[in-house]
Structure 1
């Protein structure tokens, strides 16, 4: 008997892009794991989850699905795909069916970042308009990346992609963590996604929890080795025996 090693699919946060996984991917490659950084559209949970599901459908074999922050909501919905064997939440929240980010956040002290987000109108088609959000560059490091070098934080701020405001009010129609094993990394110094919210949703899901008390929201950049080690744990648990 041999085992099939899963492909790791990484889903980034809002106000971010796939390059945030650069260091984690390098570490995964050193461990012999194949990684795909999906381009999260950031237009809304149903739209983003459907896109991710199409990515997953094109991958042969088992998948370990990893989500950062809002990416956690996306993998909660799309993780119902049959080839997903485990879920990893990195500085993320694990919503239940019908539970939006705002509904969850209302149970905890508000994130100091939310009131400072920059709002910009955009056109969704020829007539409809909606709002998208970005983090002001001067706020990026203190709220998202306090444990990074200031120059690196400014590069990340410049690379960020706007996220549609509706991601905060959209809710999943399925919670993949209810049927699939989960791991969660809680960032104890997070100023963007409150650590109590991260802990509550991870423990509610029965996830294996690793907490880094001094890690910021940008933990995938500041602690890529630790993030990769947690993903490796999920990959090894999710390896499927084959003849």
Structure 2
């Protein structure tokens, strides 16, 4: 997702430091997150009620991923406008090994039929 599609809203943490919540800009929400599949009215409601992603979360290390030891599934959503095309096909299969099961679908990020 391109940076111009995000609003960065600062907030103060308990220790006094400043962090940022990231929101998809309302005018970009329907295209990026929903691949223009909902009405403007419905998209406006979803954009207004979205939960933010904290910028800090983008750099936090994770623990041992469950997909390394248990069966996992992935979906490559070909109509997704949120994940760049070059990343869609490798993101799921690469992460799902060795117990991978995958499927491609003409769907967008919200995975609605």
Same fold (TM over 0.5): yes
Q: Which band: TM-score by shorter chain?
A: 0.7 to 0.9
CA deviation after TM superposition for structure 1 residue 125, in Å? 0.7
CA distance, structure 1, for counterparts of residue 88 and residue 4 of structure 2: 20
Runs of 4+ in 1 over 6 A off after TM superposition: none
Which residue of structure 2 lines up, in the alignment, with residue 198 of structure 1? 88
Cα RMSD, aligned residues only: 1.7
Out of 7, 16, 22, the residue aligned to residue 127 of structure 1 is: 16
Worse-matched range after superposition: 154-163 or 190-199: 190-199
CA deviation after TM superposition for structure 1 residue 186, in Å? 1.5
Higher relative contact order (CA 8 A, sep 6+): 1
| Deviation readout 1:202-240 (Å, 9 max, x if unpaired) | 212232112112x22122xx33xxxxxxxxxxxxxxxxx
Q: Give yes or no for contact 1:187–1:195 (8 Å, CA) kept in 2.
A: no
Which residue of structure 1 lines up, in the alignment, with residue 7 of structure 2? 118
Q: Give yes or no for contact 1:137–1:158 (8 Å, CA) kept in 2.
A: yes
Q: Which runs of 5+ in 1 are unaligned?
A: 1-110, 224-243
Q: Give yes or no for contact 1:186–1:195 (8 Å, CA) kept in 2.
A: no
CA deviation after TM superposition for structure 1 residue 168, in Å? 1.4
For the pair 1:175 / 2:65, whether they are aligned, the reply is yes
Which residue of structure 1 lines up, in the alignment, with residue 45 of structure 2? 155
State the secondary structure of the residue aligned to 2:81: coil
Considering fraction of residues, name the structure with more helix: 1
Out of 105, 108, 111, the residue aligned to residue 212 of structure 1 is: 105
CA deviation after TM superposition for structure 1 residue 180, in Å? 0.6
TM-score by length of 1: 0.42
Instruction: Rate the CA distance shift 1:211–1:177 in 2: closer, same or farther, 3 A.
Output: same
TM-score by length of 2: 0.83
Q: How many residues align?
A: 109
For the pair 1:137 / 2:26, whether they are aligned, the reply is yes
CA distance, structure 2, for counterparts of residue 168 and residue 118 of structure 1: 15
Q: Which runs of 5+ in 2 are unaligned?
A: none
